[in-house]
Amino acid sequence: MTTTGSGEHLPPALRTEALEQLLTERGLIDPKVMNGIITEYETNVGPLNGARVVAKAWTDPDYRRRLLEDGTAAIKELGFSGPQGEHIVVVENTPSQHHVVVCTLCSCYPWPVLGLPPSWYKDPAYRSRVVREPRAVLSEMGLELADDVRITVHDSTSEVRWLVLPERPAGTEHLTEEELVPLVSRDAMVGVAKVEAP
């Protein structure tokens, strides 16, 4: 990439601030509305939403079927929808098939169910390496998968956001939907971890 002197080497936070100021000056955005959206996603919308979706799918076979057929609609049934969640596809992890999600281009992520992405998800190293050597990257993140487990990497885009339905861990058969919710981690729904029994 060539340098044009337009400030592209400034830290992202500074560039974002400059962009916001410019858009505000031109009357294209209202900073109060912007702040409201940011606060909402920082405090109210997070992986707990996704955990509710997963726990319901684990305990309600009909819901699980609907979720895998049309993720966006099934997620909306629980009241979760909005920006960056217009088209969510849910893929199910099984003992022989593991799914993991990345955005190779930037940091596309299903906001309504997971909130804002963690920093490692935006890290260029994760974004480039998980596609080429997923097994090694997952191992470094603490997830060892047997050699006969097939790994599929899904590239999130502005069109499609992916959510992983993790495997329900053995030994949780007696737990209710409500009791399962806190077990489901954000990382398991991105596919870089498994859900562990308590």
Residues that bind Fe ion (CB under 5 A): 103, 105-106, 108
Nearer to Fe ion, 118 or 169 (CB): 118
At 192, the amino acid letter reads V
Q: Which C-beta is closer to Fe ion: that of 64 or that of 161?
A: 161
The interaxial angle of helices 61-69 and 47-59, nearest 10 deg, is 120
Which positions are catalytic? 103, 106-108
Identity of the residue, 52 or 112, whose beta carbon is nearer to Fe ion in the bound complex: 112
CB 137: neighbour CB atoms within 10 A?
21
Query: Taking the complex as a whole, how short is the minimal distance between the CB of residue 103 and Fe ion, in angstroms?
Result: 4
User: Least Å distance between CB 129 and Fe ion?
Assistant: 16
Length of the chain: 198
**What is the closest distance, in whole angstroms, from the C-beta atom of residue 116 to Fe ion in the complex?**
13
Asked if 162 contacts 110 with a C-beta cutoff of 8 angstroms, the reply is yes
- Looking at residue 46, its amino acid is G
Residue number with the shortest CB distance to Fe ion? 108
